[in-house]
Structure 1
Amino acid sequence: MSSLLQETNRQRFDSIAADWDDSPMRRAMAGGVAAAIAAAVPLQAQWQALEYGCGTGLVGAQLAPRLRHLLACDLSPGMLAVLDEKARAAGLDNLHTRVLDLTREAPPAQRFDLIFSSMTLHHIPDVPALLRILHGMLAEGGWVALADLDAEDGGFHNPDVPGVAHHGFERAELTCWLQAAGFRDISARTAHTAEKTRAGKTALYPIFLITARR
Structure 2
Amino acid sequence: MGNTDKFEMIANTYDTSERIQIAKVSSDAIRNYLVDAKSKNAIDFGCGTGLVGMNLLNEFKSMLFLDTSQNMINQIKQKITEFNFHNVDTLCFDIEKESLSGFHADYIFMSQVLLHIHDVGLVLSRLFDVLNEGGHLLIVDFNKNEKIVSDLVHNGFKPEELTDIMTKIGYRDIQFKTFYTGSKIFMGHDASMFILDSKKTHQ
What's the TM-score once normalised by structure 1's chain length?
0.87
Give the distance between the partners of 1:191 and 1:26, measured in 2 at CA: 16
Give the distance between the partners of 2:61 and 2:31, measured in 1 at CA: 15
Contact between 1:65 and 1:92, CA under 8 Å: does it hold in 2? Answer: no
Contact between 1:25 and 1:194, CA under 8 Å: does it hold in 2? Answer: no
Query: Which blocks of at least 5 consecutive residues in structure 1 are unaligned?
Result: 1-5
Deviation for aligned residue 1:163: 3.3
2:137 aligned partner: 144
Deviation for aligned residue 1:34: 0.3
Matches within 5 A, 1:128-207: 128-155=121-148, 163-164=152-153, 166-196=154-184, 203-207=189-193
1:212 aligns with 2:201: no
Amino acid at match of 1:144: L
1:44-100, Cα deviation, whole Å (9 max, x unpaired)? 111111111000000000111111110110000011111111122122112211001
Amino acid at match of 2:33: A
Contact between 1:47 and 1:68, CA under 8 Å: does it hold in 2? Answer: yes
Q: Does the residue aligned with 1:206 lie in a helix, a strand or coil?
A: strand
Identical columns (%): 30
Q: Does the residue aligned with 2:32 lie in a helix, a strand or coil?
A: helix
Give the distance between the partners of 2:175 and 2:185, measured in 1 at CA: 30
1:20-65, Cα deviation, whole Å (9 max, x unpaired)? 00x2221111111100110022151111111110000000001111
Decide which of 2, 11, 26 is 1:17's aligned counterpart: 11
Q: Does the residue aligned with 1:41 lie in a helix, a strand or coil?
A: coil
Q: Does the residue aligned with 2:5 lie in a helix, a strand or coil?
A: helix
1:3 aligned partner: none
1:95 aligned partner: 88
Contact between 2:185 and 2:191, CA under 8 Å: does it hold in 1? Answer: no
Q: Does the residue aligned with 1:59 lie in a helix, a strand or coil?
A: helix
Higher deviation after alignment, 86-95 or 134-143? 86-95
Give the distance between the partners of 2:115 and 2:147, measured in 1 at CA: 11
Over 3 Å counting, the alpha-carbon distance change for 1:197 and 1:149 in structure 2 is closer
Contact between 2:64 and 2:88, CA under 8 Å: does it hold in 1? Answer: yes
Deviation for aligned residue 1:204: 2.3
Amino acid at match of 2:78: E
Give the distance between the partners of 2:4 and 2:166, measured in 1 at CA: 26
Over 3 Å counting, the alpha-carbon distance change for 1:183 and 1:197 in structure 2 is closer
How many residues in Structure 1 have an aligned counterpart in Structure 2?
199
1:104-147, Cα deviation, whole Å (9 max, x unpaired)? 02213122100110001011111111111111111100011011
What's the TM-score once normalised by structure 2's chain length?
0.91
When the two chains are superposed, the root-mean-square deviation of aligned CA atoms in Å is 1.9
Decide which of 49, 52, 56 is 2:45's aligned counterpart: 52
Give the distance between the partners of 1:43 and 1:87, measured in 2 at CA: 24
Query: Which blocks of at least 5 consecutive residues in structure 2 are unaligned?
Result: none
Over 3 Å counting, the alpha-carbon distance change for 1:46 and 1:168 in structure 2 is same
